[in-house]
Amino acid sequence: MTVAALRAKDYKSDIKPVWCPGCGDFAVLSALTKALAHLGLPKERAALISGIGCSSRLPAYINAYGFHGVHGRALAAASGLKAARPDLAVLAVGGDGDGFSIGGNHFLHACRRNMDMTYIVMDNEVYGMTKGQASPTTGPDWMDSKMTPHGPGVRRFQPAAIALAAGAGFIARGFSGDPSGLTRILAAAIEYPGFAFVQVLSPCPTFRPDHRDWKEQVHGLEAEPTGNAVEAARILQADDGMTTGILYAEELPVWQPRNQASASIAEIEEEFRL
C-alpha cells in the first residue's frame, strides 16, 4: 500500500491559536509544519515540549506528541524524554523569558550536554502573556513597561553568543517575517545530529509595536555557515542581533545516557520494593 506524503496542514491540530492578531508566532507555527512536511517526519515520531508563555502554547497547535509543562523547564522535560525515547524527534519550544530567564540554567547545560534535539525560542523581547514586562533580551533603554519606567538599564542577554560559549554545535537565527527562510532553518535544525538552537525573531504587536521596524532591520548572513568556533565567535561578537541564517554548524559528540532502559516495569517496581 502506498502511503501518501504528509502535507503541512496534516501537522496542524484542530485547536485554533489564540495569539494576538499579527503575532509572529503564527508564522513560526506555519514554518514548523512546512519543515516537518519537508522532512516527511511521521507525526508519531515527533514530540514538542514547552514551558509557559504565549509561544509555549505551540504544542497544542501541532498534531504530534506534546507536553505543556512548567515555566522554564521545557529543556529539562525534553532531555528526559529524549533519554527515554531516543527514537523520537524531540523539539523544545518557548519564548525568551521562559528560555533565557527562568530556564536560563537549563539552556546553558542543554548546549553543553548536546543531546540530539531542537530548541526553538520565539524571541519578542518582552513578557507578552503577563502584560509586557522586560525580558532578558529587552534593550536597556526600553521604557514602555510600568515595571521598569526608566528602562531595564542592563545589557541584553546574547542568546547566540552564549549558546556558542556553552558548547552548542548548531546555532541559527530566523525571522517570522521570512517564512521561507525560517522553514529552511528549522528543517536543517531538526536534521542536525545534536543540540540545535534556533532563535526566531518573532514580533509582539501588542506590547512591542516598535518591532514593526524589524522587517527593515533583519539581514541575511553574507557567508556560508561556518563550522569553526573561533570564526563563529568573531561573527557573533560583531553581530547586531538582526543577522539571520545558520550562524554556526559543527558536528560534535552527541551525549546519550549509557544505560538505556532495559528493565520491565515489574523489575523496576521490584527494585524499589521495601
Q: Which three cell numbers stand for residue 27?
A: 508564522
Is pLDDT of 260 > 70? no
> Looking at the DSSP assignment, which residues form a beta bridge with residue 127?
133
Percentage of the chain exceeding pLDDT 90: 89
pLDDT digits (tens, 9 = 90+) for 151-207: 999 999 999 999 999 999 999 999 999 999 999 999 999 999 999 999 999 999 999
Q: Residue 210 class from Cβ within 10 Å (0-12 exposed, 13-18 middle, 19+ buried)?
A: middle
pLDDT digits (tens, 9 = 90+) for 12-24: 999 999 999 999 9
Is pLDDT of 249 > 90? yes
Distance CA 130, CA 179 (A): 27
What would the DSSP string read from start to end of the chain? -PPPPP-GGGGB-SPPP-PPTT-THHHHHHHHHHHHHHHT--GGGEEEEE-SSSGGGGGGGBSSEEEE-STT-HHHHHHHHHHH-TTSEEEEEEEHHIIIIITHHHHHHHHHH--SEEEEEEE-SSBTTTT-B--TTS-TT----TTSTT---SPPP-HHHHHHHHT-SEEEEEETT-HHHHHHHHHHHHHSSSEEEEEEE---TTT-GGGGGHHHH-EE-SSPPP--HHHHHHHHHH--S-EEEEEEE---PPP--SS---S-HHHHHHHT--
Rg (CA), the chain: 19
pLDDT the model gives residue 261:
59
For residues 217-228, give the mean pLDDT.
94
Distance CA 71, CA 30 (A): 24
Report the range of poorest mean pLDDT among 49-63, 161-175, 246-260. 246-260
Distance CA 6, CA 35 (A): 11
Q: Which amino acid is at 51?
A: G
